[in-house]
Chains A and B, each alone.
Chain A
Amino acid sequence: MHNINLKIGKGEFVFLTGPSGAGKTTLLRLLYGALRPTRGEVLVDGQNVTRLTRSQIPLLRRSIGVVFQDFKLLHNRSVFENVAITLEVLGWGRADIGKKTMHILKQMGIESKYNLTTQRLSGGEQQRVALARALVNDPKILLADEPTGNLDDANKNQILTIFKEANIRGTTVVVATHDRRLIDQGHKRLVTLSKGEIVEQVEKESIGDDQNG
């Protein structure tokens, strides 16, 4: 990637789009510290990611939730355990983890399946578990890489609604996708990438705004 000059403000909802190989995933990976730029700087939440030491990266990631197309769930563990892992890492006590986890599962509408292993869930349910894991600690930033790539339309809409709700609660949301329908329904700000460069930026008013204030 080169020539990227992108600023995403607090509480924004941004879609990244572009053809495969345009650099959407790379851009996200730069944001959560999985990649380091060879040149230039990446600032997240006032911190210069480029200058973070290896032991500081985990602290950065605690304020960022990440969701993927392939969900990255642990299939030998239950839904509850998959979500609770985020809070365990933060060092929460057992009782608090239980309450908070069940609360977010309820929001996602999958609290009745908390004890099933994730293998036994549908694709849409699995993505909601992944979202619950990303959102359970109320992260400042939510990054999603093709979150709806494997889902049908009904599930896409549910996922989009969850993104919007998280955004309303103050989480900055960045979604990388090439799914036009998702963008048309949801976008406030659209950044189009191609061959590692930003080729277009569009902003429009959306329903979410008036609730935000």
Chain B
Amino acid sequence: MNKWKKKASETTRTARRPTLAGDGFGGRIGFFLTRAITNIRQNVFVNVVTIGTITLALLIVSLFLLVFVNLESAAENWSERVQVTVYFDKDLTGQEQSAFREKISAISEVSRISYVSRDEALKRFKGRLRGQETLLEGVRSEILPTSFEIVLKRAYRETVSVESFVTKLKQIPGISEVQYGEEWVRRFNSFLNFMRLLGALLGGFLVVAVIFIVSNTIKLTIYSRRDELEVMSLVGATRFFITAPFLLEGIIQGLAGSLLSLGLVYGLYEGFLQNAGDFITFNPAASGFNFLPVEYLSGLLLAGALLGFIGSLTSLKRFINV
């Protein structure tokens, strides 16, 4: 039956095969992409499970990052209070002021420097004692010291640097009294180091757990489709041909999962901003509670895609015996 038809189709086949086989890598991307999308449509349940797992995993990671980023920026604000003050018991003339200012600014650690005159000092003192003005009776500006307040650059705000800065400062002739709240700086910095260590540890555990859970889920979903891998290799598909659609599928799953998780985090963040006033006293909107910066967002997207890709790649290795 159909003997002659068959012969005819055979000649067309042999005539065409070389050009089609020479299609190469670029021409096949479209095919692999359609294949990946059809696969997703044909394995809805498996994909929902994988995307759901990636979403939840990255949701936890990005919530953690959100808290971490905001604690860091809070710490940054607090560290502005690492200030070194140089006191003088007389009013400085304009010439003296600019001479000191120049000498102090010459030290590399200095970020900002401001002069506090006697009047300014009295004003601040009054501000601090608001409501108890009777205490200020008889206090005149002459009894208060004048001072330079020096804010250090970010990198030099930990204990050792502050100390070495103060030593340099004291070498300037005419400067004798320097205060910088040693105890406070020390405590603040050790608290900060502890928090960073804790954050790194927790974050590390979290990332390991996420990689483990996601790669196992992907392994299971690919295991459930090992027939497909077997059939493909039986009809003579190369390793690349079999894996490419699965890898693309993994990337799509990872991107979908990370997009979903970012959407959820943003929802949670907005919800928190709007409702926090009802149950806690601090006002998050005013306190500069921020969403994740763009670099973190794109990092999370990339991480999602990588999770899907690498998870699929390592799982496929186990089930293909071409």
Within the complex, the shortest CB–CB distance from A57 to chain B, in Å, comes to 6
A89 & B235 in contact (Cβ 8 Å cutoff): yes
Chain B residues in 8 Å Cβ range of A55: 238-239
Interface size class of B (residues with CB under 8 A): 20 to 34
Q: How far is the CA of A72 from the CA of B5 in the complex (A)?
A: 29
B23, CB-defined interface residue at 8 Å: yes
Are A60 and B236 neighbours in the complex by a CB distance under 8 Å?
yes
Given contacts A54-B322, A72-B231, A91-B20, contact A103 B9 (CB under 8 A): yes
B: residues with CB less than 8 A from A are 1-3, 5-6, 9-10, 13, 16-17, 20-21, 23, 28, 31, 35, 42-43, 227-228, 230-239, 241, 321-322
If over half of B's interface residues share one DSSP class (helix, strand or loop), that class is named, otherwise mixed; here it is helix
Count class of interface residues, chain A: 35 or more
Within 8 A of B (CB), among A42-85: 54-55, 57-64, 66, 72-74, 76-77, 85
B241 in contact with A72 (CB, 8 Å): no
Q: Are A90 and B20 interface neighbours, CB within 8 A?
A: yes
> How does the 8 Å CB contact mask read for A106-141 relative to B, with 1 for contact and 0 for none?
010000000000000000000000000100011000
Bound Cα distance from A60 to B232, whole angstroms: 14
A61, A76, A100: the one contacting B235 at CB < 8 Å is A61
Residue in B closest to A66 when the chains form the complex, CB atoms: B234
CB pair A96–B231 under 8 Å, yes or no, is no
* Nearest A residue to B6, CB-CB: A169
- By CB atoms of chain A within 10 A, which of B3, B23, B237 has the most? B237
Supply 18 A–B pairs (Cβ within 8 Å), ascending by A. A57-B322, A60-B236, A72-B231, A72-B234, A74-B228, A74-B231, A76-B42, A86-B235, A89-B235, A90-B236, A91-B21, A91-B23, A92-B20, A93-B20, A96-B20, A103-B9, A138-B13, A168-B3
Residue A209, interface by CB 8 Å: no
Determine if A41 is an interface residue (Cβ-Cβ < 8 Å). no
